[in-house]
Homo-oligomer: A and B are copies of this chain.
Amino acid sequence: MWIAVKTEQNQSPNPYEQREKEAEFIKTRMGKIKHKIAVISGKGGVGKSLVSVNLAVGLAMNGRVDEVAILDADLTGPCVPKMLGLKGKRLDVSPAGMFPVTADVGVKVVSMDFLLPTEDSPVIWRGPLKMSAIRQFLANVAWGPLEFLLIDLPPGTGDEGLSILQLLPEMDGVVIVTIPSEVSQSVVKKAITFARKMNVPIFGIVENMSGMVCPHCGEVVDVFSRGGGRKVADEMGVEFLGSIPLDPRVSADSDEGVPFIKKHPDSPASQAFMRVVEKIEKKVEERC
């Protein structure tokens, strides 16, 4: 078995005491948040951050302005700030803790991106360092009163996911994001097995990029095949939360930093997001 050991400073005061103190901080901080939901995917690039952002904005639009937050835990490729028009913002750090940045739409955000020196800086971090960053976010961010915290985990079943699920055993549930193609589904099965091993309730699967209506002729194009999300949900005995159609305006809006669900509320994709939001609201109510 491998363990992580901190050199130099690990003799300082008492590392075990420090770690316990941190765990207590995390418990206190997280105890103030009503519902904690992890958004995961097996494969990258299926639109996990996009789904997190639009679900968060949808939850805020349903009467929870400033009571919804996103923890962008994808430390190596944080995209959430850009999608919410928060590029270049900085976390407010004081002895009382770190304070999230609030987007116009009433969603609070904490992201590694707010701590990086320049836009081009990569976070070249070994696993144990990443874990330590996530622990610090969980222990030290002063979120204020929150109804929902969505945790946007990096793809795969690596370090970040492990740390957060281990640190937050009282997670309400996970939402799994996928795209319709079969190549993605074998990775999704891995993600489901992973969540089950961690004993976290699975809310269900959202299929993103699910067929596109051609803006020129109105016909549907299955850009990334068809039906893989529902198929894997059935096979693994997990609820299917819905399909989000692919809309070229989603990518354009993300580039502009405006959440799609806010800018195009009447589009089929936004309505599909809202149906997932309502299913999540129902699920957390049932758990109370």
A145: Cβ under 8 A from any B Cβ: no
**Beta-carbon contact of B216 and A221 below 8 Å:** yes
Q: Which B residues touch A162, using CB under 8 A?
A: 124, 126
Contact B123 A157, beta carbon cutoff 8 Å: yes
* Alpha-carbon distance A179/B223, docked complex (angstroms): 15
Interface assignment of A140: CB less than 8 Å from any CB of chain B: no
B194 and A223 contact, CB distance less than 8 A: no
How close is A169's CB to chain B, nearest CB, in angstroms?
16
Number of interface residues of A (CB under 8 A): 72
- Please report the C-alpha to C-alpha distance between residue A124 and residue B157 in the assembled complex, in whole angstroms: 5
Could you tell me the distance between the alpha carbons of A190 and B219 in the complex, rounded to whole angstroms? 38
Binds B, one of A22-30, A101-109, A251-259, A271-279: A251-259
Which residues of the other chain, B, contact A123 by a CB distance below 8 angstroms? Answer: 157, 190
A225 and B255 in contact, given A44-B43, A45-B44, A127-B128 (Cβ under 8 angstroms): yes
One of A3-11, A13-21, A56-64, A280-288 contacting the partner:
A3-11
**A130 proximity list for chain B (CB < 8 A):** 127, 158
Closest 4 CB pairs of A and B: A45-B45, A44-B44, A127-B127, A76-B156
- 10 contacts across the A-B interface (CB closer than 8 A): A4-B126, A5-B5, A76-B190, A82-B182, A121-B193, A122-B157, A126-B162, A214-B214, A217-B219, A221-B248
